[in-house]
Copies of this chain bind each other. A is one copy, B any other.
């Protein structure tokens, strides 16, 4: 089994596929979808109800990308009326840890970031 990449965690600038994946994981709606599906499988319309700001087109695109990356899976539950269920895959579940670590960082340091912003903006105006 080519279980590749044992340790060195940082070909950040070079690794184009890594960038692409990163972009998809942190695109506009994926994090929220992941969060919702983490709790339980949901149907398309249930996702829409939970995300009032997203359009059908964008949600579809988001789900397709996640599905393509193996993060989410799409199951047709019944036809007429069509019912489709989205659920997180085992691979997708493993994403929770890194995402939660990131969210914890934000939770811990957001205040610091915001005061830095305030200082920066103030000095910009003041000179």
Binding site for B on A (CB under 8 A): 2-5, 7-10, 12-13, 17-19, 21-23, 26, 28-29, 31-32, 35-36, 39, 51, 53, 67-71, 91, 94-95, 97-98, 100-117, 119-121
Contacts of A115 in B (CB 8 A): 70
**Complex partner residue of A51 from B13, B28, B68, B112, CB under 8 angstroms:** B13
State the main secondary structure of chain A at its contact with B. helix
Q: Are A17 and B114 in contact (CB under 8 A)?
A: yes
Docked Cα-Cα span, A21 to B13, in Å, equals 19
**Complex partner residue of A116 from B7, B12, B69, B109, CB under 8 angstroms:** B69
Known contacts A91-B116, A105-B98; is A68 also within 8 Å of B18 by CB? no
Known contacts A5-B110, A102-B102, A112-B91; is A117 also within 8 Å of B13 by CB? no
Contacts of A100 in B (CB 8 A): 7, 9-10
Known contacts A98-B98, A110-B18, A116-B91; is A103 also within 8 Å of B12 by CB? yes
